[in-house]
A = this chain, B = another copy of it.
Amino acid sequence: MAVAVSPLAPKSVPAMPPIPGVRLATAAAGIKYANRTDVLLALFAPGTAVAGVFTKSKCPSAPVEWCRANLKRGKARALVVNSGNANAFTGKTGRLACQFTAKIAASAIGCQPADIYLASTGVIGEPLNAKAFDGVMEGMVVAAHEAPWLDAAKAIMTTDTFPKISTATAKIGKSTVTINGMAKGAGMIAPDMATMLSFIFTDAPIGARALQTLLSQGVTDTFNAVTIDGDTSTSDTLLAFASGAALDAPRIVKASDPRLKKFRAAFNSVLADLAEQVARDGEGARKLVEIKVEGAVSKSSARRIAMSIANSPLVKTAIAGEDANWGRVVMAVGKAGEPADRDRLSIWFNGIRVAHKGARDPAYDEDVVSQAMKSPTIALKVALGLGRGADRVLTCDLTKEYIAINGDYRS
């Protein structure tokens, strides 16, 4: 199946600086795809801290269980990611595949298997042939270097149409540290949590507990505020690694440390950028949709209403059809179950108010709105008029291409 790059893809790819203490390598292990890389190895300097956020699925994949079990140690020496097979719902075979992969990686590196983090993405329910890693692991350990960020992001793609990378720098004390991240989408993106796989790397010397707090707080308005189809993967994994190799930076052990202020902003900007790229590459997406809800009784109420709108097939198909169908938005507000007063609702599409206080806005010009709906980005704002709660989520439209991608995925 040939899929063109999403029309919503960023126009340029950022130049990714090296991260001291982090080296990368990719390989083609032939897990599922031919003629492409499908394994990523990230090597970390001794002392690297790790934090993670995972799917809330009651049926998580074997790698998610592996990472969760090891996370309390707070230390990582390597990350092994494969595409093509998610190693999910694979029973004992799946657990053995994780153990085997960690063992060969640990042996090649010279560390404990528990220092190896694992993530897999692709088909679920099929056994993962971890033996395939055996032929490529030693070579990757030797070849790993600081530069190939774009290659790394490409190796973890499944139905993604473009690699997703982001970078930022921040000062901690007088030292400038770097944050690099990558992600892969592109279906089954729903909170909580909202990406299939994303990995963040920094040379900042931040302890594992502080890193975990930063990450858990950072996802709320980034990855957890993105939804493609309301489905939640068994494999959703977001891991952050802090090598601590930055020169002269003070070691941070508490997330509340005021010296983290700029770092936190930069870290969150990388999460937000990657989350938006995931929405821009939703399966079959032709429009990026930002949904803002204001005037709700609370932020969490605004979030639930925004998600109800974002996950409504009828709203999403209307946007695909370039139809400012605010009646369906009212429907989605109504079904959220949150406090709402039909006769106080106002709705805007790309800045044009189409509904006001419970009825069609008399000033709204259908032709002007139709023109606005042709834009590849749609800003949908709903004002409830009840309180001060506001929130924002990102999604995309629902197109025939989504059906094509997901109706033919396995075949």
User: Is A340 positioned at the interface, with any CB of B under 8 Å from its CB?
Assistant: yes
Of B88, B90, B229, B337, the residue contacting A313 (CB under 8 A) is B229
A58–B188 CB distance below 8 A: no
B410–A323 CB distance below 8 A: yes
Residues facing B in A380-411 (CB within 8 A) are 398-400, 402-404, 406-411
**Which B-chain residue is minimally distant from A399 (CB atoms)?**
B403
User: Is A13 positioned at the interface, with any CB of B under 8 Å from its CB?
Assistant: no
A234–B124 CB distance below 8 A: no
A124–B328 CB distance below 8 A: yes
A342–B89 CB distance below 8 A: yes
Give the chain B neighbours of A229 by CB distance below 8 A. Answer: 313-314
Contacts A313-B402, A334-B60; A355 near B125 (Cβ below 8 A): yes
Give the chain B neighbours of A406 by CB distance below 8 A. Answer: 313-314, 317-318, 321
**Which B-chain residue is minimally distant from A229 (CB atoms)?**
B313
A231–B90 CB distance below 8 A: no
User: Is A59 positioned at the interface, with any CB of B under 8 Å from its CB?
Assistant: yes
B59–A312 CB distance below 8 A: no
**Which B-chain residue is minimally distant from A233 (CB atoms)?**
B331
User: Is A252 positioned at the interface, with any CB of B under 8 Å from its CB?
Assistant: no
User: Is A212 positioned at the interface, with any CB of B under 8 Å from its CB?
Assistant: no
B323–A359 CB distance below 8 A: no
Most chain B CB within a 10 A radius of its CB, from A94, A126, A331: A331
Of B58, B234, B334, the residue contacting A337 (CB under 8 A) is B58
Q: How far is the CA of A345 from the CA of B408 in the complex (A)?
A: 25
Residues facing B in A37-61 (CB within 8 A) are 55-60
Q: How far is the CA of A325 from the CA of B325 in the complex (A)?
A: 33
A232–B335 CB distance below 8 A: yes
A59–B230 CB distance below 8 A: no
A58–B91 CB distance below 8 A: no
Q: Smallest CB–CB gap between A266 and chain B, Å?
A: 32
Q: Smallest CB–CB gap between A50 and chain B, Å?
A: 24
B314–A59 CB distance below 8 A: no
Q: How far is the CA of A56 from the CA of B338 in the complex (A)?
A: 11
Give the chain B neighbours of A10 by CB distance below 8 A. Answer: none
Contacts A321-B411, A358-B91, A406-B317; A331 near B231 (Cβ below 8 A): yes
Give the chain B neighbours of A89 by CB distance below 8 A. Answer: 326-327, 330, 342, 345, 355, 358-359
Give the chain B neighbours of A402 by CB distance below 8 A. Answer: 313, 317, 403
Residues facing B in A135-174 (CB within 8 A) are none
Q: How far is the CA of A188 from the CA of B60 in the complex (A)?
A: 31
User: Is A127 positioned at the interface, with any CB of B under 8 Å from its CB?
Assistant: yes
A318–B407 CB distance below 8 A: yes
Q: Smallest CB–CB gap between A36 and chain B, Å?
A: 22
Residues facing B in A316-352 (CB within 8 A) are 317-318, 320-321, 323, 325-328, 330-340, 342-343, 345
Residues facing B in A12-50 (CB within 8 A) are none
User: Is A103 positioned at the interface, with any CB of B under 8 Å from its CB?
Assistant: no
A343–B124 CB distance below 8 A: no
User: Is A311 positioned at the interface, with any CB of B under 8 Å from its CB?
Assistant: yes
B359–A124 CB distance below 8 A: no
User: Is A249 positioned at the interface, with any CB of B under 8 Å from its CB?
Assistant: no
Give the chain B neighbours of A188 by CB distance below 8 A. Answer: 314, 331
User: Is A259 positioned at the interface, with any CB of B under 8 Å from its CB?
Assistant: no
Q: List 19 A-B contacts (CB under 8 A).
A: A56-B335, A58-B339, A60-B334, A88-B330, A88-B331, A89-B345, A89-B355, A91-B358, A94-B359, A125-B327, A127-B359, A231-B312, A231-B314, A231-B332, A232-B331, A313-B398, A317-B402, A323-B407, A403-B403
Q: Please name the 9 residue pairs, one residue from A and one from B, whose CB atoms are nearest each other, closest first.
A: A321-B407, A124-B327, A125-B327, A59-B334, A57-B334, A91-B359, A317-B406, A91-B358, A232-B335
